[in-house]
Structure 1
Amino acid sequence: MDQRETTRLLRQVAAGEIGVDHAVQLLRQAPFADLGFAKLDLHRGLRQGISEVVYGAGKTSEQIQKITAALLDAGQRTVLVTRLDAAAAGELRTTVEPEVSFEYFSDAHIAVVGLIPEPDGIGRVVVATGGTSDQPIAEEAAITAQALGNEVVRVYDVGVAGLHRLLAHTDDIMGASVIIALAGMEGALASVIAGLADCPVIAVPTSVGYGAAYEGLAALLSMLNSCASGVSVVNIDNGYGAGYLASMINHVGAAK
């Protein structure tokens, strides 16, 4: 239950739509639900503003299903499941109640159980990639940001090997409140974008490239050594982490 959900609950109590005892029962589920194999942080949304997200890799389909169901039962309106393969997503879909929205984004390997909220950030999150091969990680970042209530603009395949492609999107770059720049190879895109933009740039090195790219290590080191100011760097292929951080930045100063 996040801040918006808690506020909605209290307003429902004030309006007489929900009884006090029911509301108390929902709030009493703090601080976590123990499923035996997992302890769900039910107050993370109230504490941090963003509810718990399920990391699907390494979990069985049954575990993912039980975690998702428990979060929904606890009042979480949107459950984000990352790094979820198509087979597990198909099994999860069959366990979700018919009235609950379910969408699986195969490129991003993300399932969104519940409604994607309307954007309520202060501006736009721009997601830019060096090449087409970076798009799966870019989509993980973009879908994450959208599921957390952000307007997202995608600017794909604008790497420095053809700089004119990026310059054609100058309005998008300069109009963003935060930019996620994803690139493999030598990872130069983040520095170039940061030299154009007046907002924070989150660099995501991807494991794209030939042998000396070392599965993203070369791009990671290049981004960490960026000569442009205002660049932060997340881990290799961590699109989710970039989307989450971008949402936090885009909600600074937003109305509660």
Structure 2
Amino acid sequence: MTNTNQLQSVLFFDGQGTFIDCGSNIDLRETSFTIEFWAKRNTVNQTDLVVEQGSITGGHELHVGFRNNNMFTLAFFGDDLNTTDRYTDGNWHHWSCLYDRDRQHQGIVYDGNLIATRDSGIYQGSGNFYIGSRQGTQDFFDGVITELRLWNDIRTASEIQSNMNERLTGKEKGLIAYWPLDEGEGNLAKDRAKNGHNGTIASPTWKQMEVPIQPASHKESLGTGLQDYAYWYRWKQSLPQSSDSESFRRGRIWS
């Protein structure tokens, strides 16, 4: 697959008031999930949230994005996985945030490579699902977010890498919601998984920009148990000695 950038419509988040409210019907409580997206920051040294849901109470607020020290976080409020590295460049990067409910484990994948894991508690939050801000009032993202996908399981390396550079069809197995954010006009962020999780955009600004994403190839991503096991094993082996020694397992492979 070629990774040549293509000129496409993108939604610009201005860091002041642009965000998306996707309603309160996305339920991630006590379940495994993967959140993946492409992001391009315009500023540094400020909190830029990509995704947020729940109340600001321990274990009840999911928030994903950049802290004001430029570390990336997958957080449940007081139960957080932060990267060691700080990210200050203004380039496109692909992020995947994984949560394994059965093993109570969090993981962050950066441009297809695992960079952080830890044991965690159980996410118990609920409420409106926001893109680009905390509850529509603060920590607004400044930059561009595109191709945001929410899955009901833990994605493997082969699955992430097989289609991170191309649009989905929306029919892929396991999609809870899928927001390409490429409409080019209006204030509706369409859920192309057609599960009813359309979002309302506040203060939208649409632009044309080169993005590292190709049109959908109309193929389904399939994995095998051996591939999945090899992926999680490589994850474990690649971690620094100080990192958590547990590895992810994909429940459906061993069930």
Tell me which structure has the larger Cα radius of gyration. 1
Q: What is the TM-score with the length of structure 1 in the denominator?
A: 0.24
- By relative contact order (CA 8 Å, sep 6+), the higher-ranking structure is 2
Point out the structure with the larger helix share. 1
